[in-house]
Structure 1
Amino acid sequence: MDKSNKLDIAWNHLFAKYDILNEIDQNGVCKLKAEQIKEFREPRLMTKFDWSDARPKVFRENGLSVLPDSRGTYVIGKFKAYKKLEYEEVKPISVKMPEWIHSFDHFPVTSEAVALNIAQMTGMIDMIMGTNDGEPSAISTITGRLKSGELKYRIDLKDSKSPYSFSVHNSQVEIDAGFENLNNLLVIEAKNRIPQDFMIRQLYYPFRGYTNLNIDKKVLPVYLTHADNVYAFHVFEFTEPNNYSSIRRVKQVNFIADQSLAITLENVKQISK
């Protein structure tokens, strides 16, 4: 039995046992504890869907998404939880590896972590962060799993004019990369593929965590995709810090390391697929 079948079967059992669809019709959302989910399968395998197509069939058919509101509670509802990833035909900026780096001579870049290392060493990160000549280069800072602390935010629902208000207590936050220079903080969610959309929470929770530091630096949320040697930085902003749904695309900047590009964006998408 493949993973998708196991996922669908487990969620079908949960929907039946707790009458989830009726609960959502009556109250707008349904809350489940990790212990309830774990009866059928490990919660971390049941609740992390990086793009909308990864959701179980019952979620897709009913326009549902799941979000955590603590380290042990999950909320299911018709949340507008995903953002379409729009691509532009942008000519990549060519950057150079340091001449003394030979680690990548015979090894392909197959992980997000390695792609991020290359983005830093070639100056991509500094260009995105607007590091000026003469200023210290951006430094890698916070990465990995963290606790969200106390977060309150609003999120739009698909069939309601009134947003849902979340109160999050110590939910898990995963930061693929965090950088800091003199003026800005950068949080990155990185993927070695080009998805059609992405879970906004992957940028929003780290953005709120950095914003809550209350320091006089702008927080830049970036979704980085790496496919066929093209590093595409999708820069976003949240126009209202307490509004999950206020995400807005600012720009897209593409880079290529140590190569000239003779392929189009459509070629890259086909290769990624």
Structure 2
Amino acid sequence: MSKFSNKRGKSKNDTAWEKLFQKYDILEKISNTGFFEIGSSSINEFRESRLMAKFDHHANLPDIFKKHKLSILPVSRNKYIIGKFNSYLNVKYDESLEAIPVEFPKGIESIDYTNLYSESSALSCAFNIGIINNLIDDEETYYTLYGRMSTGKFKFNINRIADYTQHNVEVNNAQCEIDAGFESEKHFLLLEAKLYDVDDFLIRQLYYPYRLWSNKIPNKEVIPILMTYSNSSNIFSFFIYKFDKILNYNSIKLVEQKNYVIAPETITHEDVSEIFKSIYYSC
């Protein structure tokens, strides 16, 4: 039986990637050179590349990638590089960290903080109740950008898993997506948001935007941040990172974790009095 043979229960990505590995002899070429570059047009032969090359967490990788300790990164709008790269960073929640209570403004009615249904709604809530300002010592921030944009051109080194050497990668106007950018007088915060707790994340989601905006606004400190929120726990967790060496993809270090929770509404004597009045007059 071929090592690429299909089995029942495999995902469409698994099946398509096995066919691609077989057609282009990808494992052999990675064994010889340490990497393999593949174009979107080649991936599209079997399945749309936009569905085949974005894996936010290690667990999302196709089976053949996990089996051979491979990952994939975009290097342009229509080209990707595959290799035994250390592309993901583990996330460990500090269970002893107490959440900072934040009051929800009474004047806001268009945000239901008990049902933050998307990453953008969670980010909007965090910004409008003052959490983002608190991340940088209550500096006033402005919600300035989000969405897809071109990375520009840059080079970086990434660690290989096999022998801990580094591979040099050249990026030429690849596409990156920023969940939110917040700017203050001295800082620019780049946020990647997840609407669930995570075990790890793809460093590229912070590193590519970090390289782009470090070049665009060199006079401000660019701070890469991972935010996770779960409706089950109602905890906003922020992992504040820095890159010790701008040219090193794996130089990312955790600076601090901060947790926040929206404080429950307090019931005052006036509230109780109003409730009794409404009951009395309705009888």
Asked if these proteins are the same fold (TM beyond 0.5), I'd say: yes
Q: Of residues 36, 45, 56 in structure 1, which corresponds to 2:42?
A: 36
Which residue does the alignment assign to 1:222? 225
Root-mean-square deviation (Å): 1.8
**Contact kept in structure 2, 1:129 and 1:186, CA below 8 Å:** no
| 1:235 is aligned to 2:240 | yes
Offset, 1:215: 2.9
C-alpha separation in 2, matches of 1:67 and 1:85: 20
Gaps of 5+ in 2: 1-7, 266-283
Offset, 1:125: 0.3
Q: Of residues 247, 252, 256 in structure 2, which corresponds to 1:251?
A: 256
Offset, 1:161: 3.6
* Aligned residue runs from structure 1 range 97-112, under 5 A: 97-105=104-112, 108-112=115-119
**Contact kept in structure 2, 1:140 and 1:178, CA below 8 Å:** yes
Q: Cα distance 1:162–1:152, how it changes in 2: closer, same or farther (>3 A)? A: same
Partner SS state of residue 216, structure 2: coil
Structure exhibiting the larger radius of gyration computed from Cα positions:
2
Which residue does the alignment assign to 2:52? 46
C-alpha separation in 2, matches of 1:169 and 1:99: 47
C-alpha separation in 1, matches of 2:69 and 2:63: 10
Which residue does the alignment assign to 2:280? none
State how many pairs are aligned.
Answer: 256
C-alpha separation in 1, matches of 2:112 and 2:32: 59
Q: Cα distance 1:53–1:184, how it changes in 2: closer, same or farther (>3 A)? A: same
C-alpha separation in 1, matches of 2:197 and 2:115: 17
Q: Which amino acid is 2:104 matched to?
A: M
Q: Of residues 206, 209, 213 in structure 2, which corresponds to 1:206?
A: 209
Q: Cα distance 1:109–1:51, how it changes in 2: closer, same or farther (>3 A)? A: same
Which residue does the alignment assign to 2:18? 12
Which residue does the alignment assign to 1:265? none
Gaps of 5+ in 1: 261-273
**Contact kept in structure 2, 1:79 and 1:156, CA below 8 Å:** yes
C-alpha separation in 2, matches of 1:3 and 1:181: 49
**Contact kept in structure 2, 1:146 and 1:173, CA below 8 Å:** yes
| 1:61 is aligned to 2:67 | yes
Q: For each residue in 1:108-138, what CA deviation from the matched residue of structure 2 results, as whole angstroms up to 9, or x when unmatched? A: 1111000001110111100112234xxxx20
C-alpha separation in 1, matches of 2:62 and 2:72: 11
Q: Which amino acid is 2:149 matched to?
A: L
**Contact kept in structure 1, 2:21 and 2:27, CA below 8 Å:** yes
Offset, 1:159: 1.3
Q: Cα distance 1:105–1:81, how it changes in 2: closer, same or farther (>3 A)? A: closer
Q: Which amino acid is 1:117 matched to?
A: S
C-alpha separation in 1, matches of 2:131 and 2:78: 38
Offset, 1:97: 1.6
**Contact kept in structure 2, 1:96 and 1:122, CA below 8 Å:** yes
Offset, 1:180: 0.3
Q: Cα distance 1:255–1:106, how it changes in 2: closer, same or farther (>3 A)? A: closer
C-alpha separation in 1, matches of 2:252 and 2:113: 39
**Contact kept in structure 2, 1:226 and 1:232, CA below 8 Å:** yes
Which residue does the alignment assign to 1:142? 145
Partner SS state of residue 177, structure 2: strand
**Could you tell me the TM-score, scaled by structure 2's length?**
0.87
Most deviating of 110-119 and 2-11? 2-11
C-alpha separation in 1, matches of 2:198 and 2:102: 24
Identity %: 38
C-alpha separation in 2, matches of 1:140 and 1:169: 28
Which residue does the alignment assign to 2:100? 93
C-alpha separation in 2, matches of 1:130 and 1:183: 11
Which residue does the alignment assign to 1:115? 122
Q: Cα distance 1:106–1:50, how it changes in 2: closer, same or farther (>3 A)? A: closer
Q: For each residue in 1:209-228, what CA deviation from the matched residue of structure 2 results, as whole angstroms up to 9, or x when unmatched? A: 11001431111100000012
C-alpha separation in 1, matches of 2:197 and 2:112: 24
C-alpha separation in 2, matches of 1:75 and 1:259: 48
Which residue does the alignment assign to 1:25? 31
Which residue does the alignment assign to 2:157? 154
**Contact kept in structure 1, 2:197 and 2:229, CA below 8 Å:** yes
Which residue does the alignment assign to 1:126? 133
Q: Cα distance 1:165–1:106, how it changes in 2: closer, same or farther (>3 A)? A: closer
Offset, 1:96: 1.3
Offset, 1:190: 0.1
Offset, 1:257: 1.3
